Amino acid sequence: MAVTLEQARRVGYTCLKALLRFAFMVANNLVAIPSYVLYLIILQPLRVLDSKSFWYIEGVLFKWLLAMVSSWGWWAGYTVVEWGDDVKAVSEDEAMVLVNHQATGDVCTLMMCLQDKGTVVRQMMWLMDHIFKYTNFGIVSLIHGDFFIRQGKAHREQQLVLLKEHLEKYYRSRNRKWIVLFPEGGFLRKRRETSQEFAKKNNLPFLKHVTLPRTGATQVIMKTLVVPQENGTPAGRDTVIKENKSKGLQWVIDTTIAYPKGEPIDIQTWILGYRQPTVTHVHYRIFPVKDVPAEPEALTHWLYQRFIEKEDLLTHFYETGAFPPLQGQTKAISREMTLSNLWLVVIQSLAFLSGGMWYCILQYFYHCLF
């Protein structure tokens, strides 16, 4: 089939746009990430004198970096519509966020849609696959205190011990509020077949749009971060309260990401922007932590039920283009998530100005020394 001149122009424009976006992203990373690191090196005395102020500043810088990543998708027309409970109402409380996982773009989507949720982004902790430690953003996540988890049966028990130690050491000492994890333990396309075989052997529902979650990390988080209540939370839960009078984990936010036609966005698309503008749909359900069972077997069942509900939500979405209404509602209500272009431009400008400033400073010291 012959290619028309119009088609050739369209392809050429798409390739040129992708190349320019990639160049901008590389430049963005080269100035923003080193600046983040250098600012925090300079602020190390503050970390000793006033740890709370140090981690507040680090959180602000971290949020700006995530806003920078969000801008790549936002300016390509990859927007978000939100459904279900309004999580802004619990943005100042401690919460565990459970998310289904389809592609690398899921993380970018969360980076974007949590930007307008108060202090959430600067006070959140991510649980992610250890491979992300070796990406361009790995040094940022290491400094921020995110946890990199290694997958596989051979590492599972050790990783859960390390997770518990990590939470005890960093979660409340750095004033973290939200912890985000992907309980499926991998992308849908990679885990679906294995999950379906497991479901068949254990008389569990057959799932197509999600997989059955792995429960180890969730159990550790619940056991470590939930504070015993006066009305009698089961004994034996560990807590890390220390001096800060934390109320502990108060909410579980079940988050379901849906892409039109079930076609997820990956990180390459997010960066290069060669896909047509796309609206990603994010659904939230908020559960009080007191309603979440503590015992491992009961918690596993509870988690399975959440992902079975996700299956129903996604089935409804793919059939109708919308999520179903919440219980007690007659009509589902959606909310368009928005970002300020002016704010994003300011963030990008600060990144490049910081990069220029640090370059001049380092050049000055280089010439002084040599």
Which positions ≥6 away from 366 have C-beta within 8 Å? none
The answer to whether 21 and 72 have CB atoms below 8 angstroms apart is yes
pTM of the full predicted structure? 0.90
Residue showing tokens 């056991």: 223
Which CA distances in Å does 14 have to 26, 70, 76, 109? Answer: 18, 20, 12, 22
Q: Give burial (CB, 10 Å; 0-12/13-18/19+) of 370.
A: exposed
* Token digits of residue 22: 């990639």
pLDDT tens string, the chain, 370 residues long: the values are 566 777 778 888 889 889 999 999 999 999 999 999 999 999 999 999 999 999 999 999 999 999 999 999 999 999 999 999 999 999 999 999 999 999 999 999 999 999 999 899 999 999 988 888 888 889 999 999 999 988 777 778 899 999 999 999 999 999 999 999 999 988 998 989 999 999 999 999 999 999 999 999 999 999 999 977 544 444 334 444 344 456 899 999 999 999 999 999 999 999 999 999 999 999 999 999 999 998 999 999 999 999 999 999 999 999 999 999 988 788 888 999 999 999 999 999 999 999 999 999 988 888 888 7
Number of Cβ within 10 Å of residue 86's Cβ equals 13
The answer to whether 73 and 226 have CB atoms below 8 angstroms apart is no
The answer to whether 225 and 240 have CB atoms below 8 angstroms apart is yes
* Token digits of residue 298: 């009961």
Q: What pLDDT was estimated at residue 231?
A: 43
Angle, vertex CA 294, rays to CA 291 and CA 299, nearest 5: 85
Q: What pLDDT was estimated at residue 208?
A: 94
Q: What pLDDT was estimated at residue 245?
A: 57
CA distance 80 to 259: 10
CA distance 185 to 162: 17
Q: What pLDDT was estimated at residue 243?
A: 41
| Torsion angles phi and psi, residue 274, rounded to 5 | -85, -10
Number of Cβ within 10 Å of residue 34's Cβ equals 16
CA distance 209 to 313: 9
Q: What is the DSSP-derived secondary structure letter of residue 202?
A: T
Which positions ≥6 away from 130 have C-beta within 8 Å? 148, 149, 150, 151
CA neighbor of 57 nearest in space, from 69, 72, 45: 45
CA distance 23 to 32: 14
* Token digits of residue 296: 């491992």
- 334 by DSSP, 3-state: which? strand
Give the chain's radius of gyration (CA, Å): 22
